[in-house]
Amino acid sequence: MKIALAGAGAFGEKHLDGLKAIDGVEVVSLVGRRLDQTRAVAARYGIAHACTDLAEALEQPGVDAVILCTPTQMHAAQAIQCMDAGKHVQVEIPLADSWADSEAVLAKSSQTGLTCMVGHTRRFNPSHQYLHDRIRRGDLAVQQMDVQTYFFRRKNINAKGEARSWTDHLLWHHAAHTVDLFAYQAGPIVQANAIQGPIHPELGIALDMSIQLRSESGAICTLSLSFNNDGPLGTFFRYICDNGTWIARYDDLVTGREEPVDLSGVTVSNNGIELQDREFIGAIREGREPNSSVQQVLPCYRVLHMLEQQLGA
Question: What number is the average pLDDT over the span 293-307?
Answer: 98
Question: What number is the average pLDDT over the span 23-39?
Answer: 97
Q: In whole angstroms, how far apart are CA 52 and each of 6, 37, 201? A: 9, 10, 31
Lowest mean pLDDT among 74-78, 101-105, 149-153: 149-153
Q: Quick one: pLDDT at residue 160?
A: 62
Q: Quick one: pLDDT at residue 133?
A: 97
Domain residue spans in the chain?
Answer: 2-120+273-293, 122-263+299-311
Q: Would you state the CATH architecture of domain 2-120+273-293?
A: 3-Layer(aba) Sandwich (3.40)
For 122-263+299-311, the fitting CATH number among 3.30.360.10, 3.40.50.970, 3.40.50.720, 3.20.20.140 is 3.30.360.10
Strand ranges in 218-305 using DSSP code E only, listed in sequence order: 220-226, 234-241, 244-249, 252-255
* Distance (Å, whole) CA 220 – CA 187: 10
Q: What sign does the CA torsion over 7, 289, 110, 176 have?
A: negative
pLDDT higher than threshold 90 for residue 166? no
pLDDT higher than threshold 70 for residue 45? yes
Structure confidence at residue 313 as a pLDDT band (50, 70, 90)? low
Q: What is the pLDDT of residues 241-281, one digit of tens each?
A: 999 999 999 889 999 999 999 999 999 999 999 999 999 99
Q: What is the pLDDT of residues 59-87, one digit of tens each?
A: 999 999 999 999 999 999 999 999 999 99
Q: What is the pLDDT of residues 181-233, one digit of tens each?
A: 999 999 999 999 999 999 998 888 899 999 999 999 999 999 999 999 998 88
